[in-house]
Amino acid sequence: MELLKKKFDHFFHRNINWQEKHRRLRIREWRKETDDVISALEKEFDPLIARGIFNLRHSSKLYQLPDEIWLQIISYIAPTRESFFMLRQVCRRFRKLMEGDEFRDHRFTSHHECGRNSCDGREVFCSGSGFVPGWLPNLRPSYREPLERGWLHHRVGDLLHIDTLCMRCSKLVRVNRKYVFSSCKFHQESERGACHYGTSGPHFKLPYNGFQRSCIGTRGHVRLCEHKTIKWKEVEKHLVECRKVITNDRRLQDHRIVVKECNHPSHLTAGCPEATGPVCTLVFDKSGAYTVNLYWSPHSGTGAFPSYGNGKFKASEMRDKFRQYRREGADLIVPEMAVGQLPEMTCFPLGECTCLSYGSDEHTELVLYGSQKDSICRRMNDNPDHRPLCSRGGLHSSKVYNSFCRSQVQIERCTSSEQQQEIDTSPCIVTRYRRCIEGCYFVSEKKPKVSHAWLHAMDRTSYHWGSLELMAMETCSTAGCRNFYSMGVYGCYERPYDMIWSGLRND
């Protein structure tokens, strides 16, 4: 009997081990299949959008629930602005339900976003208007800019930013909750002053902790490309020259000068006569305001997109070309908001632009455009800021705001190479990158001081930043962390989930 029991226990445990091994094997196979599908989608979409499409097509069980159950779930939400906003922030289906008439007058509705003061939305159902009952135009709460409202700034802002930090930065925030971190690592609001010595902001000139503070903006540099850097002394010299020119000729409203340019052969590989390398220019206004512009316009050349046909470019080939530009220096001018989220792709809004083809999957096209693709094409063709690239004068434009980084990406068709274009070959596409670094050179100042935007534009490896001195969080070296760029902890928050919502709203 004892021997029989031992044999049974041995067989039982061996069966359990075999089931566990088989279960783990199935999980590995499922993960491999999932990774393969997501990797294929990421060739054409940003990672966040690729996962949204994957959830919709394959694994999202919640999305298959009927609207009645979703509305019942919404009714059990705590009636606080924070919880309501957070659910709308992370739930794609909830955002779609919010388009209904029952949510038309809610404070976070998207029906009132067109920005036209003359449109009140009362007679015609406008997709977005400046009218909300009980709120004056342009003064009502907006879900697109929640952190600018005082009653959402602290609670929702902290939750959103901590959620986008890496483990190290989030732990640092929890450990140092007794400290009041600055909204920017270069700006400290305290009784001693608001900025380190040498900048254009308020500062104190007394020794601090046994030494004299010095401006790191004069020691660091802004990188134009991998071959050229820009020192503050160079900009300072040109600012003084521009001030003299404006003073001598009072008829001039502004003066423009080239600070530095790079003509390395690696920037001129397209063979287009208009292709130029990165350029840094300075524009000085009569009022004292100035802008340092970093500019680069790489050309793709004719025939750079083999799959071009019927006036459409393949999305994967277009993304590969943008990644090439970013490796060659475009990432320094227009940085990514997150890993894999290419700012260039914002020029082709999902569900609206039809210049890109996303493979041969008809279901993907249906997810992106729904059943109104023809009307979308006509509406986009009427937009003066968005003209198809297949036509002469094609233009796509998008602006990127990342705290003190104000950048712009403009994609257009090159007109100078149209004569060299062969039949059934892709035209030459120009991608114009631009970044603006703003500042002021007041008349009362003997020499210009480093602007705040210049500090954020500097190359992180070109200066030493003392965290104990400023009591603010240093930028993180983890690329996927929200604190990766020079934004501090509580910079402006972009809504990446809006990209999924706008792309999948017509499914």
53 shares a domain with 17:
yes
DSSP H or E run through 39: helix 2-42
DSSP H or E run through 397: strand 395-402
pLDDT of 293: 92
96 shares a domain with 17:
no
343 shares a domain with 422:
yes
The reply to whether 278 falls in a domain is yes
**Closest among 98, 146, 140 to 117, alpha carbons compared:** 140
pLDDT averaged over every residue in the chain: 68
Round to the nearest angstrom and report the end-to-end CA distance of the chain: 65
pLDDT of 194: 39
Domain count, the chain: 3
Give the domain-ending residue among 94, 115, 142: 142
Q: Quick: pLDDT tens for 145-173.
A: 443 444 455 566 566 556 666 777 777 66
132 shares a domain with 12:
no
Higher pLDDT, residue 374 or 159: 159
115 shares a domain with 246:
no
Name the token pair of 287. 């009022």
| Reported pTM | 0.68
93 shares a domain with 17:
no
pLDDT of 499: 32
Distances from the Cα of 367 to the Cα of 50, 56, 89, angstroms: 12, 9, 20
pLDDT of 40: 82
The reply to whether 255 falls in a domain is yes
Lowest mean pLDDT segment, chosen from 11-25, 82-96, 272-286, 288-302: 82-96
Name the token pair of 153. 């700034």
Name the token pair of 466. 């003392």
Tokens 């690696």 locate to: 266
Query: What is the SS3 assignment for 463?
Result: coil
312 shares a domain with 299:
yes
Average pLDDT over residues 416-441: 79
Name the token pair of 43. 């060739």
**Closest among 276, 283, 277 to 257, alpha carbons compared:** 283
Give the domain-ending residue among 111, 142, 173: 142
Q: Are 235 and 292 in contact (CB under 8 A)?
A: yes
Q: Please say if the pLDDT value at position 336 is more than 70.
A: yes
| Structure letter (DSSP) for residue 123 | S
72 shares a domain with 53:
no
138 shares a domain with 102:
yes
pLDDT of 328: 86
Do β-strands 229-231 and 221-223 pair in parallel, antiparallel, or remain unpaired?
Answer: antiparallel
Q: Find which of 91-100, 183-192, 496-505 is predicted with most confidence, using mean pLDDT.
A: 91-100
Average pLDDT over residues 100-113: 56
The reply to whether 478 falls in a domain is no
Domain range spanning residue 46?
2-62
Q: Where are the alpha helices (DSSP H) in 406-460?
A: 452-457
pLDDT of 266: 80
432 shares a domain with 336:
yes
Counting Cβ atoms within 10 Å, is residue 146 exposed (0-12), middle (13-18) or buried (19+)? buried
Phi and psi torsions of 199, nearest 5°: -95, 175
Q: Are 151 and 85 in contact (CB under 8 A)?
A: no
Q: Are 354 and 377 in contact (CB under 8 A)?
A: yes
Name the token pair of 180. 């009041």
Query: What is the SS3 assignment for 148?
Result: helix
DSSP H or E run through 261: strand 254-261
127 shares a domain with 27:
no
The reply to whether 167 falls in a domain is no
Q: Please say if the pLDDT value at position 216 is more than 80.
A: no
The reply to whether 417 falls in a domain is yes
Whole-angstrom distance, CA of residue 168 vs CA of residue 157 = 19
454 shares a domain with 413:
yes
The reply to whether 199 falls in a domain is no
**Closest among 52, 100, 111 to 499, alpha carbons compared:** 52
The reply to whether 492 falls in a domain is no
Lowest mean pLDDT segment, chosen from 22-31, 76-85, 215-224, 349-358: 76-85
Q: Are 215 and 450 in contact (CB under 8 A)?
A: yes
Q: Quick: pLDDT tens for 32-74.
A: 888 888 888 888 887 777 777 777 666 666 666 777 787 777 7
Positive or negative, the CA dihedral 497, 503, 506, 507 is: negative
What's the pLDDT band for 292 if we cut at 50, 70, 90?
very high
Name the token pair of 124. 């015609």
Name the token pair of 351. 């569900």
Whole-angstrom distance, CA of residue 291 vs CA of residue 286 = 12
Q: Please say if the pLDDT value at position 264 is more than 90.
A: no
Give the domain-ending residue among 123, 142, 161: 142
The reply to whether 20 falls in a domain is yes
What's the pLDDT band for 423 if we cut at 50, 70, 90?
low
The amino acid at residue 422 is E
Do β-strands 356-357 and 313-314 pair in parallel, antiparallel, or remain unpaired?
Answer: parallel
Q: Quick: pLDDT tens for 125-138.
A: 333 333 344 444 44
Whole-angstrom distance, CA of residue 104 vs CA of residue 333 = 40
pLDDT of 182: 47
pLDDT of 163: 62
